[in-house]
Amino acid sequence: MRTPLLNVVCLFGAVGLVACSQTGGPFAKKNPEKAMNVVDATNLNDIMLTIADPNEAVNYFKTALEKDPTRIEFRRGLATSLVRAKRATEALPVYKKLLEHEEATDEDRVNYADALIRSNDWKAAEAELNKVPPTVETFKRYRLEAMIADSQKKWKKADSFYETASELTTQPASVLNNWGYSKLTRGDYKAAEALFMEAVSYDQKLFTAKNNLALARGSQRNYKLPLIQLTQLERAQLLYTLGLTAVKKGDKAIGRGLIEDAIETHPRHFEAAVRSLEALG
């Protein structure tokens, strides 16, 4: 559950007062109000970019930018918050303006490329990444490079980028899932299964990887649930995925049985599975 922003700000204010009282200095003594404002703005920006509601963060950074349009951190915060709020298209002009600033970084350009991909402008995203020096070797840069190569069906290049990206983070579950899905679309089901299993080993709550794992196994006519941690709801949904896959493979009797198991396992009414079972007639 999200912490109410008002409580967070109040807590932050108390911490800020203590910090200022302990870290004084000539500037703080001569300009106490300005010193406090700098500390307040920096810490509140961090709060808005992490635990605050994304849309609330958008409003905060919009207001801050209107008051002081020269502050690059406000423009950067607005762009980031718009992407967090799933409003990537709105973030594009903000990023364009941001990149005109003399303090803009290569990371800003990578983030702009990310927003372009989220807005389905793959060609422009590729052009922006080409402007980033090859010495910038970050997880996000390689993940985006992998996705672009994937979209162009440059499989060898995509595999290389996915591998590099997964090695540059301690939380590779999402990129391993993307890589696995790439293998799945190519028909390399065994490799896809291995990547999905690895993704789940890093994040047992990543349901997308679990469902993709069932899909990869079913595509190989292996209709047994994988030996991974599942809730009752997840178990029902994976049985349903296996059932649909079996039907598509022509194994209708097996598929029907799996869908029936899914309906029986589901903790509530499983409408989609019921409709599918009725369609099988």
Kindly report, residue by residue over 90-122, the tens digit of the pLDDT.
Answer: 999 999 999 999 999 999 999 999 999 999 999
pLDDT digits (tens, 9 = 90+) for 139-185: 999 999 999 999 999 999 999 999 999 999 999 999 999 999 999 99
Task: From 220, 241, 273, give the residue that closes a domain.
Answer: 220
- Structural domain contains residue 169: yes
Give 230's DSSP letter.
Answer: -
Q: Which residue segment(s) compose the domain that 62 sits in?
A: 50-112
Query: Quick check: 54 and 84 in contact, CB under 8 A?
Result: yes
Amino acid at 74: F
**CB-count exposure of residue 86 (10 Å: 0-12, 13-18, 19+):** exposed
Residue 76 covered by a domain: yes
Answer whether residue 14 is part of any domain. Answer: no
Q: Does residue 45 lie in a domain region?
A: no
Q: How far is CA 112 from the centre of its chain?
A: 15
Residues 166 and 202 in one domain: yes
Rounded Cα distance, 173 and 195, in Å: 9
Tokens 């990371």, located at residue: 107
End-to-end Cα, the chain, rounded Å: 43
| pTM for this entry | 0.81
How many domains are contained in the chain? Answer: 3
| Token digits of residue 234 | 């997840």
What integer pLDDT is reported at residue 38 of this predicted model? 47
Q: Are 48 and 79 in contact (CB under 8 A)?
A: no
Pairs from 16-20 (Cβ < 8 Å, separation ≥ 24): 16/40, 16/43
